[in-house]
Amino acid sequence: MRTLYFTEKDLDLRLREMRQQFWRQVEEEQLDMAKRRVQEALGIEFREAVGAKRYERSEGRRMYRGGYRYRDLQTWGGRLYRVKVPKGEKGYKFKLLKPWGRHVEKFGEAVYRAFVYGMSDRKVAKFFSALYGEGILSPGGVSVIYQNLSRDIAAWHKRPLDDRYRFLFLDAMWQSVRQSQKNRRAILAAMGIRHDGTVELIDFRVETGESASAWGRFVESLFERGLVGRNLELVVHDLGANKN
């Protein structure tokens, strides 16, 4: 592995391209997580409305299942394609989908903030509390979705890395949390380019700053997961602190 130095203009161009790729791939991952959790939420809402689990004999059953249909849903950050929606034998109007997908829209934002800023983000907790506070799901159903989303995010950040990158870009981007300039956080990001030219979001971490210790913890975590650099030809790291 070797380290090269670019002119400021050249480095800025490449890092700008990587930042665009970063947010594009964050959006893709977030939409994938949002689709799985929306489908899960619809399944839980429907089960609670039916009053019985699939194939369960229950005196409390209020209707029978009638298969599934697929819908495209617009959510915060993008569109969810072919979302699996349960159908009731006598029809059922989902609270999560009415009116005009308002709750699905907020659902997408909550998943995005959980993925980027973590499950402890206030807006995330507020949204999931509102889900059953507005009578959409039971507290138990909300807890299942919340825990599964947390596991999704943790698994993504802990997934093994295959060490097949040719180029590695390390960059920090500053973002305002809760739309406050006093709550700015540094997103430390690692982007990789494979030998076939594929650009991949390797991982990212939100820190209070881009200190040497913060970068050290982040890079060490990549190494422990398998990114040891045997195939790396070039590492690009913006040593300047970009606050924009």
Whether residue 194 sits in one domain with residue 144: no
Token digits of residue 101: 């997908």
Domain count, the chain: 2
Strands (E), the chain: 65-75, 78-88, 165-176, 184-194, 199-207, 234-237
**Is 179 contained in some domain?**
yes
What is the residue-wise DSSP string for 70-96?
A: EEEEEETTEEEEEEEEEEETT----ST
Tell me which residue range forms the domain holding 200. Answer: 160-237
pLDDT higher than threshold 50 for residue 244: no
Tell me the pTM.
0.83
pLDDT (tens digit per residue) in 6-15:
566 666 777 7
pLDDT higher than threshold 60 for residue 59: no
pLDDT (tens digit per residue) in 112-139:
999 999 998 888 999 998 888 888 899 9
pLDDT of residue 58: 59
Paired residues of 206 in beta bridges: 187
Whether residue 145 sits in one domain with residue 40: yes
